[in-house]
């Protein structure tokens, strides 16, 4: 039996144990998958202990992703670009790390027939969640990406970090809107989780074809409700991304890529 776990703080709400158990059932693999709460101050010692004491892989969630990046001996190219990772495992005595968040987003967009090539996108937020998906988004060659954040300096830092990727990037204040029509608006802020109001110029929704909220809930998320109220008809939340990024982690650990459609439907009914 292979042993896996998700680590974070808090962790009780995590859907990862259910998702990975269903993947294992789908592929006929015997696994256990735990949810383990770890405080940042205990991260290094506890994580090393878990990997030394029989865990074959760990998923990492907030607020530990940057700590996991610094702990790892070897990090994937994507992980190095983002400076944060969500997947750990051990090989030949070394701790290896990767980030599957961006791949999970692209897979979910593909499953929903959304193309990013030559698109004009808005990304709300410039924190860890935005950084985790931006390299993957840029890999599909959108025409332009505009980053809006409450702190303009953080948006500008992201633009500067990826300015040589062959995509037009710009940062503007949160209450402004980019010129011209938009393809999609992607929300990476934590407003849904923290209960904060998302202060933005709702005119961006009137210019866009679709919205995507990295957060998810049983009902429509607050961000997607705002988008709908402002005229967008096509709205997605992050549940599909959650399941898809989990599937990529599962493949790293087991060598087998689980199908996601049945598991996604099951998790939706489980919320």
The answer to whether 167 touches 116, Cβ cutoff 8 Å, is no
Of 3, 65, 90, 94, the active-site residue reads 65
Dump pLDDT digits (tens) for 32-50: 999 999 999 999 999 999 9
| Cα 203 to Cα 199: distance, rounded to the nearest angstrom | 12
Please identify which residue in the block is written with the tokens 């060598």. Answer: 255
Dump pLDDT digits (tens) for 196-248: 777 788 999 999 999 999 999 889 999 999 999 999 999 999 999 999 999 99
pLDDT band at 192 (very low <50, low <70, confident <90, very high): low
pLDDT of residue 181: 93
The answer to whether 212 touches 236, Cβ cutoff 8 Å, is yes
Dump pLDDT digits (tens) for 46-98: 999 999 999 999 999 988 999 999 999 999 999 999 999 999 999 999 999 99
* Mean local confidence (pLDDT), 13-28: 96
pLDDT of residue 259: 95
What are the tokens at 47? 């994580």
Bridge-based pairing of strands 94-98 and 87-91 is antiparallel
Dump pLDDT digits (tens) for 107-157: 999 999 999 999 999 999 998 889 999 999 999 999 999 999 999 999 999
* Mean local confidence (pLDDT), 5-28: 96
pLDDT of residue 199: 79
pLDDT of residue 195: 63
The C-alpha torsion from 195 through 135 and 80 to 5, rounded to 10°, is 50
The answer to whether 98 touches 122, Cβ cutoff 8 Å, is no
pLDDT of residue 193: 65
The answer to whether 175 touches 199, Cβ cutoff 8 Å, is yes
| 177: nearest Cα among 151, 147, 198, 150 | 147
Cα dist. 41→45, 46, 63, 114, 126 in Å? 9, 10, 11, 40, 25
pLDDT band at 191 (very low <50, low <70, confident <90, very high): low
SS3 136: helix
Is 65 annotated in the active site?
yes
């Amino acid at each position: 039996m292979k042993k896996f776990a998700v680590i974070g703080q808090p962790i009780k709400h995590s859907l990862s144990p259910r998702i990975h158990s269903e993947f294992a059932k789908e592929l006929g693999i015997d696994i256990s998958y735990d949810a383990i709460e770890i405080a940042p101050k205990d991260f290094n010692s506890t994580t090393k202990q878990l990997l030394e004491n029989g865990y074959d892989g760990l998923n990492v969630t907030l607020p530990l992703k940057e700590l996991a990046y610094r702990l790892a001996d070897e990090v994937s190219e994507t992980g190095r670009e983002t400076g944060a990772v969500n997947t750990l495992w051990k090989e030949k005595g070394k701790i290896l790390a990767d980030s599957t968040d961006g791949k999970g987003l692209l897979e979910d967009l593909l499953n929903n027939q959304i193309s990013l090539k030559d698109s004009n996108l808005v990304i709300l937020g410039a924190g860890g969640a935005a950084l985790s998906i931006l390299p993957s988004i840029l890999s599909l060659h959108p025409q332009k990406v505009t980053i809006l954040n409450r702190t303009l300096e953080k948006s500008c830092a992201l633009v500067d970090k990826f300015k040589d990727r062959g995509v037009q990037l710009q940062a503007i204040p949160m209450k402004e809107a980019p010129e011209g029509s938009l393809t999609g608006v992607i929300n990476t802020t934590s407003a849904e989780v923290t209960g904060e109001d998302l202060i933005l110029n709702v005119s961006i929704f009137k210019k866009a074809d679709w919205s995507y909220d990295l957060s998810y809930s049983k009902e429509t998320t607050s961000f997607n409700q705002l988008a709908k109220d402002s005229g967008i008809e096509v709205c997605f939340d992050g549940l599909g991304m959650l399941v898809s990024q989990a599937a990529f982690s599962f493949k790293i650990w087991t060598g087998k890529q689980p199908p996601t459609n049945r598991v996604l439907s099951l998790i939706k009914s489980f919320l």
